[in-house]
Chain A
Amino acid sequence: MYIIKEIFLKSNLIRELVIKDLKMRYSRPTLGILWAFLSPLFVVTIFYVVFSIILQVKTKEAPFFLYLMSAVFSWRFFQDSLVSSATSLIDNKNLIRESSFPHYLIPLAIVVANAINFLPSLSILIVASLISLKGLPIFILFLPVVLFIHFIIITGLSLMLSIFYVKWRDTRYILEAALTILFYLTPAFYSIYLVKGSFSKVLFNIYISNPLVGILNLYRLSTLRGFYQAIKEDIGLLNLVIIPVVFSFIIFWLGFYLYKKNKNSINDHISY
């Protein structure tokens, strides 16, 4: 609990760090904040050309470009946050060595900045879904909750990774490899039915229990109309909601537990 209190107390510092992060991203480019919209669109276009036009991938659950967008945007939030916060303690070693605020605020601020950066992408997705599917699902009301759960998972993982990285500089390379594997393990550009068809029942259940798959399904559920009808027979409430929620809180708690155990030694490890 004291951590929530501390985060609240230090909200000014978090805000300044986030503002710094965003300003450094968008204040110098001529197109400025427009890049927050353009850059995800470019990525999605490339995926679309490759998978839909060249490879002719079709998805049953929703139109392919919406299916793709929902996955790519949320994945980018996940990946960008982890990659930049994993090295954040070392990147900001002067801050750690020269001031006494709690170290976890650095990765936390990075995740917050990335979350803010994710909002334009999310709005593109909602608008595109609204136009293309002529309406939004009722679950859109739960989108903030989904975002919050996603945020909690990312924060926990970021904190853990940043502490691991201080002690083992191999973390970064392991993370890069793990992110690639995880990306292909989530149904970003292939239909869940495809997985169901080729996996055994047990294997499919394991696959679907991946919290990241769960989160992605939650995003799709709350933004894509008709998605729930398409999957409700295959994926139960447990896999859809409970696993991501429980996982997020365990990861968050673990992250802070690790931080608490290591906070006194971070500064000793950071200089070399």
Chain B
Amino acid sequence: MTTSPIKTTENYNIKMTKVIELKEISKKYQFLKTGVRNIKGNVEDFWALKDISLDVYGGEILGIIGRNGAGKTSLLNIIAGVLSATQGKANINGKVLGLFNLGVGFQDELTGRENIFLNGAIMGATRKELEEKLDSIIEFSELGNFLNMPLGTYSQGMRLRLGFSIIINLDFDILAIDEVLAVGDALFQNKCFQRLMDFKREGKTLVITNQSMDLIERLCDRVILLDHGRLLFQGSTSEGISRYRTLLNTEKFFVGPAQKHRKLVENTKKWADAQSNWGKKLGTKEIIIDKVELRNKFGWKCSKINSWQQLEIKVYFTIRNTAKEPHFGIAIFRNDGVYCYGPNTAFDGYSITELSPGKGYFILKYHKLFLAPGGYKLSIAIWDKFETLAFDYHEGYYNLTIKGKNDVGQLLNMPFKAYPRGHPKNLFTLNLGILKDKWEEKLEAEGVQLGEVKLLNQLNEEKDIFITNEPVKLIINFNKLNSDKDCYLWIGIYREDGIYCQGITQKLNKRVIFKIFFPKLPLLPGGYRISLGVWDSKVKKFKMYHHGLYPFGMVFEQEDHGTVYLEHSWFWRWK
């Protein structure tokens, strides 16, 4: 990958001299296989970094982003000279300071002042230099009289401040900081940022890793994105962050956390740059998604569909290089990013041995879309064997609209039967905005007294955990109910994180028992809450509510991600 040119007009302090030059750096770790004790060892190889080439110019602030275990720290270690690369060459021009932990070698028994000299010496400063800088270190740390007390008496925050003050006052050309930025209170943090910006102005080079994208965005001129030891992207900060977020979504929604494997991306050739305008497309491009078609139950192409209808998604792809054991995956998100469902062929137990170069397509057919009206986005992915890296992944690329009106913002449209019958499906005067900040709160009203609220399984046993697609009965009892005829019972099903899944309204006709029956409750694993309320449609207010007070959980025997299970089937063909 070539280095993107630096715009000298914007960053006039950036010298066009390379201070860090990495050439195809690879780092291999060897792990003893657990349980095996051998002198020679039964070792397993793990490549923490693979073929990283990178140039960093003087006066630049470079951010390294990526998930945990992506190789950020290893790369930083190599830049700082703490680790040596297994393959490749690292040329570092200038004095490097690696900051992997604040207060390296701090000793509780020694005083703060003594620790300054110890830590400073470990970081490579001379006694003379430290004596010169002592005053500014003490001043920066704002620790004053504490300096003469043993470090053991310091709070964690004070330790970090001291550690940071030492580092920041030392002399260096390149500073590599690993996730330890921003310590102390807001004021001190601000001071740290100021100091880092000063360094930049002085023409010093900083290499930073951090999980706070906010911080990366504020500080960095340029970022590189690492994943599984590979350099996925280098370039502008905003684009890098956006790609990282996309990657995070990928991982979160398509990959179970247990699905890790040692050989990860060995021999994966990257064609990351082959498509110049990939936008929100990620992947190694061994397989390319060419075209995606949505079809309704008549087989017509469409982008709008009714709730409870059949939807067919047909994806055409080109195989550019033999791909072993690929998986297909399609995820549906609501326009605001709420994850609805993301089945893939691996979860469903299919295995495809190999795709040889050529063309093909796959189809995912949803038999019934239990989604509420609104706008949705589809993500389409073709994954490698271990679902760690996508061959091609189009995130939120395709639009789908479910026709209808949905004023209350519910996510799902699950089938249910209610007793007594004759309920209005949607009550449009219902204003859930009232409940916005009332999570886990109660409002009681005179004349309305809620009794038992029970969830029953098929055998009429009361439960609080159900299996996805199990028949579930919700029974609500009122001990006392004096209501007008304009009052409605509202039942809201929420996700644990407050996402409104579905609402059911029932006219209150002085009845005291309400039963809602879900023949197949399709909610996917996770925590859910039920909210209850009595809505007075005349004054447009809740007479009473219990918001998010009835929790229940869902489990599923197969792995699946999202909120709602949608019955589906797969079909694929290629040549």
- The chain B residue sitting closest to A13, CB to CB, is B121
Given the complex of chains A and B, what is the CA–CA distance between A16 and B107 in angstroms?
Answer: 12
- The chain B residue sitting closest to A95, CB to CB, is B105
Most chain A CB within a 10 A radius of its CB, from B30, B77, B118: B118
A198 at the A/B interface (Cβ < 8 Å)? no
- B29 and A94 form a contact (CB under 8 A): no
Given the complex of chains A and B, what is the CA–CA distance between A101 and B104 in angstroms?
Answer: 12
Which residue of B29, B32, B96, B127 is within 8 Å of A12 (Cβ)? Answer: B127
- B122 and A13 form a contact (CB under 8 A): yes
Q: For residue B31, which residues in chain A have a CB less than 8 angstroms away from its CB?
A: 272
B80 at the A/B interface (Cβ < 8 Å)? yes
Q: Which of B5-42 contact A (CB under 8 A)?
A: 29-32, 39
- B105 and A94 form a contact (CB under 8 A): yes
Q: For residue B127, which residues in chain A have a CB less than 8 angstroms away from its CB?
A: 12, 15
A27 at the A/B interface (Cβ < 8 Å)? yes
Encoded as 1 (CB less than 8 Å from any B CB) or 0, chain A from 243 to 268 comes to 00000000000000000000010011
B98 at the A/B interface (Cβ < 8 Å)? yes
Instruction: For residue A40, give the distance in angstroms from its CB to the closest CB of chain B.
Output: 23
B82 at the A/B interface (Cβ < 8 Å)? yes
Given the complex of chains A and B, what is the CA–CA distance between A168 and B40 in angstroms?
Answer: 10
- A20 and B82 form a contact (CB under 8 A): no
Instruction: For residue A116, give the distance in angstroms from its CB to the closest CB of chain B.
Output: 17
A: contact size bracket: 20 to 34
- A100 and B96 form a contact (CB under 8 A): yes
Q: Which of A1-27 contact B (CB under 8 A)?
A: 12-13, 15-17, 19-20, 23-24, 27
- A99 and B123 form a contact (CB under 8 A): yes
Encoded as 1 (CB less than 8 Å from any A CB) or 0, chain B from 54 to 88 comes to 00000000000000000000000100111110000
Given the complex of chains A and B, what is the CA–CA distance between A85 and B100 in angstroms?
Answer: 24
- A100 and B29 form a contact (CB under 8 A): no
- A101 and B122 form a contact (CB under 8 A): yes
A60 at the A/B interface (Cβ < 8 Å)? no
A28 at the A/B interface (Cβ < 8 Å)? yes
Instruction: For residue B193, give the distance in angstroms from its CB to the closest CB of chain A.
Output: 23
B482 at the A/B interface (Cβ < 8 Å)? no
Which residue of B83, B114, B125 is within 8 Å of A268 (Cβ)? Answer: B83
Q: For residue B120, which residues in chain A have a CB less than 8 angstroms away from its CB?
A: 16
Q: For residue B125, which residues in chain A have a CB less than 8 angstroms away from its CB?
A: 12
Given the complex of chains A and B, what is the CA–CA distance between A97 and B99 in angstroms?
Answer: 10
Which residue of A12, A16, A98, A168 is within 8 Å of B82 (Cβ)? Answer: A98
B126 at the A/B interface (Cβ < 8 Å)? yes
Instruction: For residue A59, give the distance in angstroms from its CB to the closest CB of chain B.
Output: 42
Which residue of A23, A98, A100, A272 is within 8 Å of B114 (Cβ)? Answer: A23
- The chain A residue sitting closest to B118, CB to CB, is A16
B110 at the A/B interface (Cβ < 8 Å)? yes
- B82 and A99 form a contact (CB under 8 A): yes
Instruction: For residue B35, give the distance in angstroms from its CB to the closest CB of chain A.
Output: 13
Encoded as 1 (CB less than 8 Å from any A CB) or 0, chain B from 92 to 125 comes to 0000101011001101011000100110111111
Instruction: For residue B33, give the distance in angstroms from its CB to the closest CB of chain A.
Output: 12
- B81 and A98 form a contact (CB under 8 A): no
Instruction: For residue A58, give the distance in angstroms from its CB to the closest CB of chain B.
Output: 45
Instruction: For residue B498, give the distance in angstroms from its CB to the closest CB of chain A.
Output: 40
Q: For residue B124, which residues in chain A have a CB less than 8 angstroms away from its CB?
A: 13, 99-101
- B82 and A23 form a contact (CB under 8 A): no
Instruction: For residue A69, give the distance in angstroms from its CB to the closest CB of chain B.
Output: 31
With contacts A12-B127, A99-B123, A100-B80 taken as known, whether A20 is within 8 angstroms of B101 at the C-beta atoms is no
- B104 and A272 form a contact (CB under 8 A): no
Which residue of B32, B101, B117, B118 is within 8 Å of A94 (Cβ)? Answer: B101
Q: For residue A24, which residues in chain B have a CB less than 8 angstroms away from its CB?
A: 107, 109-110
- The chain A residue sitting closest to B48, CB to CB, is A268
Which residue of A17, A28, A97, A272 is within 8 Å of B100 (Cβ)? Answer: A97
Which residue of A28, A96, A97, A272 is within 8 Å of B109 (Cβ)? Answer: A28
Which residue of A16, A27, A97 is within 8 Å of B121 (Cβ)? Answer: A16
Which residue of B30, B84, B101, B107 is within 8 Å of A98 (Cβ)? Answer: B101
- The chain A residue sitting closest to B108, CB to CB, is A24
With contacts A13-B121, A95-B104, A95-B122 taken as known, whether A100 is within 8 angstroms of B82 at the C-beta atoms is yes
With contacts A100-B81, A100-B96, A268-B83 taken as known, whether A27 is within 8 angstroms of B122 at the C-beta atoms is no
Q: For residue A272, which residues in chain B have a CB less than 8 angstroms away from its CB?
A: 31-32
Q: For residue B39, which residues in chain A have a CB less than 8 angstroms away from its CB?
A: 168
Q: For residue B126, which residues in chain A have a CB less than 8 angstroms away from its CB?
A: 12
- A16 and B29 form a contact (CB under 8 A): no
- B98 and A268 form a contact (CB under 8 A): no
Instruction: For residue B359, give the distance in angstroms from its CB to the closest CB of chain A.
Output: 45
- The chain A residue sitting closest to B73, CB to CB, is A97
Most chain B CB within a 10 A radius of its CB, from A13, A94, A99, A168: A99
With contacts A28-B109, A100-B98 taken as known, whether A268 is within 8 angstroms of B30 at the C-beta atoms is yes
- A267 and B83 form a contact (CB under 8 A): yes
Q: For residue A101, which residues in chain B have a CB less than 8 angstroms away from its CB?
A: 122, 124
Given the complex of chains A and B, what is the CA–CA distance between A96 and B77 in angstroms?
Answer: 11
Q: For residue A28, which residues in chain B have a CB less than 8 angstroms away from its CB?
A: 109
Most chain B CB within a 10 A radius of its CB, from A20, A27, A98: A98
Encoded as 1 (CB less than 8 Å from any B CB) or 0, chain A from 144 to 168 comes to 0000000000000000000000001
Q: Which of A116-135 contact B (CB under 8 A)?
A: none
Which residue of B77, B84, B122 is within 8 Å of A16 (Cβ)? Answer: B122
Q: For residue A97, which residues in chain B have a CB less than 8 angstroms away from its CB?
A: 77, 82, 100
Given the complex of chains A and B, what is the CA–CA distance between A201 and B457 in angstroms?
Answer: 94
- The chain A residue sitting closest to B83, CB to CB, is A267
Q: Assuming A94-B101, A94-B105, what are 10 further A-B pairs, CB within 8 angstroms?
A: A12-B126, A12-B127, A13-B124, A23-B109, A27-B110, A95-B105, A96-B82, A97-B82, A98-B82, A99-B100
27 A-B interface contacts by CB (under 8 A): A13-B122, A15-B121, A16-B118, A16-B121, A17-B118, A20-B107, A20-B110, A23-B110, A24-B107, A24-B109, A24-B110, A28-B109, A94-B105, A95-B105, A98-B82, A98-B98, A98-B100, A98-B104, A99-B104, A99-B122, A100-B80, A100-B81, A101-B124, A168-B39, A268-B30, A268-B83, A272-B31
What 6 pairs across the A-B complex have the smallest Cβ distances?
A16-B121, A264-B84, A98-B100, A13-B121, A100-B81, A98-B104
CB within 8 Å of B: which residues of A?
Answer: 12-13, 15-17, 19-20, 23-24, 27-28, 92, 94-101, 168, 264, 267-268, 272
CB within 8 Å of A: which residues of B?
Answer: 29-32, 39, 77, 80-84, 96, 98, 100-101, 104-105, 107, 109-110, 114, 117-118, 120-127
